[in-house]
Amino acid sequence: MFKFKKCRAGKKVVSTSASVTEKLQTITQELGESYPSTPKEVVEKHNELMRIGYSSDIKDEELTAYAEALRMLYTKRLQEVNPIETQVSGLIAERLENEDKPLIMINSEIMDVTIIKDSDNSQNDSAGVVVKHGTNKGNITKEYSLVKEDGMWKIQSWETQKSEEDSTQSQTTSNNE
């Protein structure tokens, strides 16, 4: 499934990594066979997908498979309010908007995980996971909200937090005015 690339004189050149399509197929299969059991694992899988989606390798024709893989981690309600066609259109629009300098996800670091149980220990558990995404345009911090749905942790929403860098930039800008 994986192809390897070695550049040596007189040797064949073969790619070092799986194609985006192969990576997405592998992740989709993994999610179907062994869904993550904790909020942290769900967000780690989401981060892995984000690195694929925000790489220079992904092509427009692969965005539907990318969105379908992401949606496996979303609540039914999130999927309802954000139909796949709308999600793919938004991804294409974002790519066009950033055509001169595409946003590339370099890494992601989980900063905090909070699990909240209802007082009666019902199935209404929820969780918050804070992630710092490192990109070629700076750090982006997001807080993901997860709930248990059909016994599995699912992402119900996320919010981009204002970073300290943004606050510092705002203060610097305000001081210069």
d(CA 36, CA 153): 8
Q: Which tens digits make up the pLDDT trace of 123-134? A: 568 999 999 999
138-149/152-161 β-pairing:
antiparallel
**Band of the pLDDT at 62, cuts 50, 70, 90?**
very high
| Exposure of 102 in the CB half-sphere (CA atoms within 13 A) | 17
User: Taking a C-beta distance cutoff of 8 angstroms, is the pair 39, 48 a contact?
Assistant: no
Q: Which tens digits make up the pLDDT trace of 86-112? A: 999 999 998 888 888 888 899 999 999
- pLDDT exceeds 60 at position 75: yes
Residue 156: Cβ-neighbour burial (10 angstroms; 0-12, 13-18, 19+): middle
- pLDDT exceeds 50 at position 118: yes
Least confident window among 46-50, 98-102, 144-148? 98-102
